Amino acid sequence: MTKFSDQKILGLIGTILLAGIFFFFQPEYLPQHPTDWLGLLLLPFIANEGISQKKWIYLFLAILSVVLSGGESKILNYTFVCTLLLFWWEILGFRLNWLPMFMLLVIAPLTRQLVFVWSFPIRMELGAYAGKALSAVGFTAEVIGNTVFLNGAEFSVDAACTGLKMISIALVFGLFILAYYEKKGNRRLNFFSVSVFLFGVLALTLLANFSRLLALIIFHIAPENILHEAMGLAALLLYVLLPAFALGKYYVDVFGKEISTNDKELKHGLSFKKSLLLLSLLALCVFGNGFISQLSVPKVDPRLAQLQMPTYEKSILESGVAKFEKEHLLVYWKPPISSLGMAHDPRYCWEGAGWTFKHIHKTTIGEIPVFSAEIEKDSTTLKTVWWYDNGNQKTIEESEWRWNTLLGKSSYSLVNVTADDERALEIEVQKLYTQNLFK
């Protein structure tokens, strides 16, 4: 058995072991979407030879992730394992290009969550531009938030259309295209060049979604129609994959660096015994981090613990959320988070309980700006609104509360008010705004 084969087999064994330990403690991070599996299957193909080793960069990122996490952040635990795996392969002597790191990032649950949250303002803009485009060519269209109304029919620009599905697939195939031309041209892109190309793929994806949205509205194609998904695939192929594939060769030729024969030589890694010893140490680290994560108990924020709302029945959920309820009204105060954390978006919570969101839009109650939506389940329809509150300031702008928190201001709690009576909801929202309960 050659030295190369020994190292490759040892690399695969280490990958299975470290990933297996991680998934044992965090099974929710197991691949659940077809795009995840596709990304994993493509990893061996896109892992071409790199210009130089980056093992110490990966080790630094792994250590930084585990220190910042302390076992409490699932996102950082995922980062810890991914960078540790990349370090493991390079310590064996391999040079990897940047594409495997990008692929692990693309298929990460964090990326889906970020797309879900940040695609919302983009979806509202797409709906607004679609309404303007339709009006410009003679259609009478009305836009409310992420919903476009045309001739009595409504079309929602939902997350499934413009977020998780098409963006993830486009990025995975974008990395595949780069890997194909890297291997074919014997060239490698740097971190910045890969990032720019992926941003270009994102821009093409927005164009594809906008074109698809216009077609769905004009031809009145409902979500249950098979053409609804077929047009999405056609738009992805026509507006994203074909242009990316056509331009990929020239992009890699211009911005890629040619790999010399010396660059291709496999560096000598650790001896077999030292490799096994290191693998045992890495496995112990992953196990220890996973064990600590299981011991972490969600902390109840002091402000939520002392928060009181007269006439309401209060309870603290396992997630740390403060729940207040009385007849016809339900109020959730979500735990404050850091500027870089994932907000407790009400769409996650309600949809996880089987509710469907409709007509999401920005509106005002009196002069109070809020997000508003209808939620439906079976034959029940409720009205729900939400905003962010840090005790001193209230906002509905994602960028504003994150920036303020980053500057050192008090962290924000998401407030979600739900009722079956719209008038009762409006009265309660005005009370909560003026009382400043969250201190």
pLDDT tens digit string along 223-248?
677 877 788 888 899 999 999 999 99
Residues 2 and 35 reside in one and the same domain: yes
- For the chain, give the mean pLDDT: 84
Closest CA to 145 of 358, 356, 362: 362
Go through the chain and tell me how many residues it has.
Answer: 439
Whether residue 377 sits in one domain with residue 289: no
Give the end of a domain, one of 275, 296, 317: 296
Q: Is 47 within the bounds of a domain?
A: yes
CA distance 384 to 416: 7
Examine the domain organization and report whether 391 and 274 are in the same domain. no
SS3 of residue 373 by DSSP = strand
Domain check: are 306 and 430 in the same one? yes
Write the CB contacts of 5 (distance below 8 Å, at least 6 apart in sequence): none
Higher-confidence residue of 160 and 222: namely 222
Amino acid at 38: L
pLDDT value for 3:
56
Do 288 and 357 belong to one domain? Answer: no
Residue 281 lies in a domain: yes
Q: What pLDDT is attached to residue 128?
A: 77
Percent of the chain with pLDDT over 70: 88
In this structure, the number of other CB atoms found within 10 A of the CB of residue 60 comes to: 13
Residue 126 maps to a domain? no
Q: What is the predicted pLDDT for the residue at 164? A: 53
pLDDT band at 264 (very low <50, low <70, confident <90, very high): low
Q: Cα–Cα distance between 258 and 210 in angstroms, integer?
A: 38
Q: Are 416 and 346 in contact (CB under 8 A)?
A: yes
Whether 292 and 389 share a structural domain = no
Which percentage of the chain shows pLDDT scores above 90? 33
Mean pLDDT of 122-129: 74
Kindly state the tokens that stand for 249. 């060769």
Distance CA 435, CA 84 (A): 49
Amino acid at 165: K
Q: Is the dihedral of CA 182, 236, 35, 74 positive or negative?
A: positive
Would you say residue 368 lies in a domain? yes
CA atoms within a 13 Å half-sphere pointing along the CA-CB vector of 439? 8
396 and 285, same domain (yes or no)? no
Q: Are residues 354 and 285 in the same domain?
A: no
Structure-model confidence comparison of residues 338 and 383, the more confident one: 383
Choose between 103 and 319: higher pLDDT: 103
Q: What is the pLDDT of residue 159?
A: 46
Strand-by-strand arrangement of the 153-156 sheet:
141-144, 147-150, 153-156
φ/ψ of residue 53, rounded to 5: -80, 150
Q: What's the rounded mean pLDDT across residues 155-168?
A: 63
For residues 423 and 310, membership in a common domain is answered with yes
Shared domain for 274 and 353, answered yes or no, is: no
Give pLDDT, residue 28: 83
405 shares a domain with 284:
no
Domain contains 118: no
**Torsional class of 154: left (φ above 0), alpha (ψ -120 to 50), beta (otherwise):** beta
Q: Classify residue 291: in a domain, yes or no.
A: yes
Structural domains in the chain (count): 2
3-class SS shares of the chain: helix, strand, coil, % to 5:
60, 15, 25
Q: Compute the distance between CA of residue 161 and CA of residue 382 in angstroms, rounded to an integer.
A: 24
pLDDT of residue 60: 95
Element (H, E) at 326: strand 322-326
For the ranges 26-40, 151-165, 193-207, 345-359, the lowest mean pLDDT is seen at: 151-165
Does residue 72 belong to any structural domain of this protein?
yes
Residue, of 172 and 144, whose pLDDT is higher: 172
Which carries the bigger pLDDT value, residue 341 or residue 417?
417
Distance from C-alpha of 335 to C-alpha of 279, rounded to nearest angstrom: 38
Domain-terminating residue out of 253, 278, 296: 296
Q: Which residues contact 267 (CB under 8 A, 6 or more apart)?
A: 53, 93, 94, 95
The helix (H) or strand (E) run that includes residue 314 is strand 313-316
Query: Is the domain of 291 the same as that of 308?
Result: no
Domain boundary among 296, 312, 334: 296
Quick one: pLDDT band at residue 101, thresholds 50, 70, 90?
very high
Q: What is the CA radius of gyration of the chain?
A: 25
Residue 332: per-residue pLDDT: 92
What is the extent of the structural domain holding 328? 302-435
pLDDT of residue 246: 95
Q: Does a structural domain hold residue 49?
A: yes
CA angle 186, 189, 193 (to 5 degrees): 150
Res. 160 pLDDT band, cuts 50 70 90: very low
